[in-house]
Amino acid sequence: MKKLGLFILSFILCLGPFSIAMAQKSPTICAVHPFTGRFAFAGIEGSAAMQDVVDMANEGGGVNGKKIQYYWADGEYKDDVGIAAFKRLYAQYNPQIMFGQSTGMTKALGPEIKSRYKVLYSAYTMTSEAANPKENPYLFIAAPTYTEQFGVLLKYIAKEKPGANIAFFYSDTEFGREPIVAGREICKKMGLNLVAEEVSQVGGVDITTQVLDMKGKKVDYCIFQGFVSNPIAAVIKQSKDYGLNAKFMGTFWSTELQLLRELGPLADEYTGVTAYSFYFQEDVPMVKKIREWTQKKYPKVEYRSQSYMENYMTTLLFVECFKRADKMAGGITGDNLTKALQSIKNFDVGGLMPPVSIKSNSIPVGRVYRGNSKTVRFDPISDWIRME
């Protein structure tokens, strides 16, 4: 009975703080990060980036003298846990800006954000649904959508080899299928031949059939979508064994050093699109600033991933929106923050991206990088490419 009593007591103690919804007047950001679960590789880096930008902004005087408050919780990359964390954070801190952990969570909360919460919202997603200001003005992504990333790659291919044979190689998931329909249309517009669409599961699966099919269809370029690493490395390795001389490309989440390490000497065969400069591009002013901050605060950290850069960029925009909304009549509200977001034109982010202009609640720009097996890094092979 003592144990039961202890359990009830701890339950009451835990729920106590939530019965008081504290009205916060200071600018507040709340985030649900996938700190555990299969997307933790992004969540751990992303939460560090948000904390860093908030700390930097507060050291620099905050939002017109007001310190930014930042709170976060783990969503485990599960929609129900993430939504619960969103509601818990909202009830506890009453933020003006929120950040979510996935596409599923964004889709589930989208209608309520528009009708009830009215907070500026972004997430670990690049779905087109989060970049549709007519449907939902509160949602935005600080990156190109997956469709826009496909557009950047196809634009690059159309310039390098007009009329090339293209294959889409995607996972049978929401993440994998997202840009496929629009990708077909872009191929037609750019005069490229989409000759194959290969579907595979995520992970270490047999992809011999798909490789042989691409060889039979004389594919020049194969674009991956919906994978972080496996089976990309396996496809590239087997393609060499079977004599398929295609170039292999991927979008944001697979354009990371981990894949180059897995590819080893074949790293030169992989090309990816990303929206941000890499941590090793020391000549970029914003990267230099991030490196100095990291070395000062976390001397043991040697590398910051693209997930870090994505959240760093998002939080830079959050802070800028706070500053602009604070000067508007009514102060920092969700509606003023969306107006502030729309007013961002040619915003200098120190080369992390080219000067940022928000268009349809996304930033439709990317750069193509090729893997380098000797340095195990990505080298830029194009300038920034903008999509209309």
Partner 1 sequence: MRCGDYKENYIKDEEIFQSRFVKFWLALFFIFLIVFPFIANAYMLYIANMIGFAVIGAIGLNLLTGFTGQISLGHAAFIGVGAYTSAILITKYGVSFWLSIPLAGLVSALAGLVIGIPSLRVKGLYLCIATLAAQFIFGFVFVHWESMTKGITGIHIPPPRIGSLQFVTEKDFYWITIVFVVLGVGYARNLVRSKMGRAFVAIRDRDLAAEIMGINLFRYKLTAFAISSFYAGVSGALWVSFLKVVIPEHFPFMLCIQYLAMVIVGGLGSVIGSIFGAVFMTLVPELLNVLSDMVKSYAPGMGKLIIPFKQVVFGFLIVSFLIFEPRGLAEIWNRIKKFFTLWPFSY
Q: How far is the CB of 296 from partner 1 (least distance, A)?
A: 16
Nearer to partner 1, 29 or 157 (CB): 29
Mapped onto helix, strand or coil, the DSSP state of residue 204 is coil
Q: How far apart are CA 188 and CA 259, in angstroms?
A: 30
Which CB, 129 or 268, lies closer to partner 1? 129
Nearer to partner 1, 55 or 268 (CB): 55
Q: Least distance in Å: CB of 171 to partner 1?
A: 11
Contact indicator for 130, 112 with CB cutoff of 8 Å = no
**Least distance to partner 1, CB of residue 20, Å:** 9
Rounded least distance, CB 69 to partner 1, Å = 12
Q: How far is the CB of 174 from partner 1 (least distance, A)?
A: 4
Residue type, 47: S
In the complex with partner 1, the residue whose CB is nearer, 112 or 282, is 112
Q: C-alpha distances in angstroms, 211 versus 161, 202, 203, 240, 286?
A: 21, 16, 16, 10, 41
3 state DSSP class of 85: helix
In whole angstroms, how close is the CB of 17 to partner 1 at the nearest point?
8
- Whether 239 and 214 have beta carbons less than 8 Å apart is answered as yes
DSSP string, 118-164: --EEEES---GGGS-TTT-TTB--SS--HHHHHHHHHHHHHHHSTT-
Strands 28-33 and 165-171: unpaired
Please report how close the Cβ of residue 32 comes to partner 1 at its closest, in angstroms: 11
- Our CB check for partner 1 shows the closer of 10 and 375 to be 10
> By C-beta, is 10 or 209 nearer to partner 1?
10
DSSP one-letter string for 262-303 = HHGGGGGGEEEEESS--TT-TTSHHHHHHHHHHHHH-TT---
Q: Are 125 and 174 in contact (CB under 8 A)?
A: no
Tell me which residues touch partner 1 (CB under 8 A).
1, 4, 10-11, 14-15, 17-19, 21, 35-36, 44, 73-74, 76, 79-81, 83-85, 87-88, 90-92, 104, 107-108, 110-112, 115-116, 129, 172-174, 177-178
**Which is closer to partner 1, CB of 19 or CB of 346?**
19
CB atoms within 10 A of CB 2: 6
- Cβ at position 360, least distance to partner 1 in Å: 18
Query: 10 Å Cβ neighbour count for 339?
Result: 15
Specify whether the CB–CB gap between 101 and 34 falls below 8 A: yes
Burial class (CB in 10 A: 0-12, 13-18, 19+), 118: middle
Pick the closer one to partner 1 by CB: 135 or 348: 135
CB of 88 to partner 1, least distance (A): 4
Q: How far apart are CA 243 and CA 113, in angstroms?
A: 51
Taking Cα atoms as reference points, which of 122, 113, 69, 115 lies closest to residue 87?
113
Q: Cα–Cα distance between 9 and 15 in angstroms, integer?
A: 10
Smallest separation, CB 268 to partner 1 (Å): 33
Between 111 and 162, whose beta carbon lies closer to partner 1?
111
Q: Which is nearer to partner 1, 74 or 220 (CB)?
A: 74
